[in-house]
Amino acid sequence: MAYVIGEGCLDHKDRSCMEECPVDAIYEGGRKLYINPAECIDCGNCEVACPHGAIAVDRKADPEWKADNRAFFEIVLPGRDIPLGNPGGALKTGVVGVDTELAASH
């Protein structure tokens, strides 16, 4: 089970969650952050650190935002040639700078 960043993060990229993630599984899009479900170790540090209450364990997350969070890593995002996949850490990837269709249009 992984954690999911939802609508509450839109245009509020505080990044406190990124600082608390021990495995660097939180990636930065254009308007919000995304947790890689394959890299998340379910520690819950991110949920506690988020000042906007935007993070929830996947079984309690809004299904639309759960699917959106997963899609960020599985679909070809605007301006990219291949899906992000599981690059092994947000620090080495850097700011992705684009969002899924849901986050971009919301």
Q: Which domain covers residue 39, as residue numbers?
A: 3-105
Whole-number Å distance between alpha carbons of 74 and 12: 23
DSSP category for residue 34: E
Residue 38 has pLDDT above 80, yes or no: yes
Whole-number Å distance between alpha carbons of 15 and 8: 13
Tokens 């971009």, residue located:
104
pTM of the model: 0.95
Confidence of residue 67 (pLDDT cuts 50, 70, 90): very high
Q: Are 100 and 75 in contact (CB under 8 A)?
A: yes
Q: Are 75 and 20 in contact (CB under 8 A)?
A: no
Q: What is the pLDDT of residues 2-12, one digit of tens each?
A: 999 999 999 99
Number of domains in the chain: 1
* Residue 52 belongs to domain with CATH number: 3.30.70.20
pLDDT at 106: 86
Tokens 């690059």, residue located:
87
